[in-house]
A = this chain, B = another copy of it.
């Protein structure tokens, strides 16, 4: 077994993000990321498949949090409430400690077409997973798709607001306001 380096993953993430913002994503190499973190490339590849993975490694856990929250929602929940439960169930990911990282990550992603596309596709994957979780709770199409899309729309917009420079509301506060605004669309 390889020796485990405490904090290596976090150091690699910080170094990668620093370099992406300094020199651009394309021009940053894995060798540079490892060197900046005072680690070897080998250690980098023990944690991440490639440099893009540094920015998207949380996607699977997020997706599972969404799906698990739908499965755990009360039996009497409506399709919309089931879908909203998915979004509410992911709030623990978006803590105050995480906000600065999320802001910098967003900055890195915004400056690169390929990364923006990847982020957009991530939203599509989340919507598809939530729709499937709704079907498993007995919601039929097309309601499952419409309710899942509505919830992911709030998730997407809440994230944009949460990482805005002067924003101080918590993710929970933002999402509650957006769910209300969405219902009020009439």
User: Interface of A with B (CB < 8 Å)?
Assistant: 78-80, 117, 120-121, 123-124, 142-143, 145-147, 149-150, 153-154, 156-157, 161, 178, 181-183, 185-186
Contact = CB atoms under 8 A, between A and B. Distances in A.
14 contacts: A80-B185, A117-B121, A120-B121, A123-B124, A143-B185, A145-B153, A146-B153, A146-B178, A146-B181, A146-B182, A149-B149, A149-B153, A150-B185, A153-B153
A82 to B, nearest CB: 11
User: What does DSSP make chain A's interface, helix, strand, loop or mixed?
Assistant: helix
Contact of A121 (B121, B142, B150, B183): B121
A185 B79 CA distance: 7
Copies of this chain, count:
2
B186 A183 contact: yes
B157 A145 contact: yes
Most chain-B Cβ atoms within 10 A of its Cβ — which of A80, A145, A147?
A145
A75 to B, nearest CB: 17
Contact of A153 (B121, B150, B161, B186): B150
A120 to B, nearest CB: 5
Contacts of A142: 157, 161, 178, 181
A165 to B, nearest CB: 15
